[in-house]
Amino acid sequence: MSSSLTFNDRVAIVTGAGGGLGRCHALALAARGAKVVVNDLGNAQPVVDEIIAAGGQAIANSASVTDMAAVQAMVDEAQQTWGRVDILVNNAGILRDKSFAKMTLEDFRLVLDVHLMGSVHCCKAVWPLMQAQQYGRIALTTSSSGLYGNFGQSNYGAAKMALVGLMQTLSIEGAKFDIRVNCLAPTAATRMTEGLMPAAVLEALKPEAVTPALLWLISQDAPNRAIACAGAGTFEAAHITLTQGLHLGIGDDVPEQLAVAWAEVSERDGEQVPGSGAAQGMNEVGKAMAAQRGE
């Protein structure tokens, strides 16, 4: 094992860790030396027992990630037990799939509350500790449904893409404290996907095949601000890019010019992965200034 991919003396919190992906993440962290808070609404203790039986250290926690006070108590317990919190794996989630026309606003809000605000609560609770100790690794669980869309998952997709936006800013704000924040987009058979895919596909998409990507994203030498995709033992990286674009200026016929030039505006040759949101404005103003100079 690479020394950067062992977690001796590290303390990790894994939410939604009673089964599926979360369980695999918690077991793998414990096997590599981490002390693990296994968080799950109703099924944490069996995973804790499994870790302890294998010689690891773990405690169970049943906090709902939607309850900030309960999340704060969970983080406080981890600190009181082991003195620090080094790693946060935001994995807890639910599904309430329906087409947008048929979906209730209650189900839309619930999915946002669990996936987005649940992750916000956990990040908010660990952030001061990680700043103080000048070290932290946070993984947010996004999804291809957020990155690329999926029928019947407008609520889930909106929440998952929002987590990418959260990651983009937290990774910038945390950099000076060596808090690295990344996203994992898994494809795996879990409690949430049971019955949604053919048996042969579910067999191929074992949660264990995703966890190596998670371990890399929260390791000592982890990247910062990455979106790692993983499923069935295959690993990819997703990027939010910005094309070079085209300066058209200001005028009554600019909408018509844009319609004609849209293919050129969308041309991906020379596109960039911006370091921050300022890159868009810099590109736009730069082209406008160049046009004024006649370049």
Sign of CA dihedral 18, 22, 27, 32: negative
Place of tokens 């810099």: 282
Side chain identity at residue 292, one-letter code? Q
DSSP state of 272: B
Q: Is 156 a catalytic residue?
A: yes
Counting every residue, how long is the chain? Answer: 295
Which candidate, 18, 2, 26, places its Cα nearest to that of 208? Answer: 26
Residues 6+ away with beta carbon under 8 Å from 173: none
* Marked catalytic residue, from 7, 108, 156, 216: 156
Provide DSSP, 172-231: HHHGGGTEEEEEEEEE---TTTTTTS-HHHHHHS-GGGTHHHHHHHTSTT--SS-EEEEE
CB 191 within 8 A of CB 19: yes
Which candidate, 269, 21, 227, 232, places its Cα nearest to that of 142? Answer: 227
Which pairs with CB-CB distance under 8 Å and at least 24 residues apart come from 63-69?
63/39, 64/118, 65/15, 65/16, 65/39, 65/90, 65/92, 65/114, 65/117, 65/118, 65/119, 65/121, 65/122, 66/113, 66/114, 66/117, 66/118, 66/121, 67/121, 68/121, 68/124, 68/125
Residues annotated as catalytic are: 156
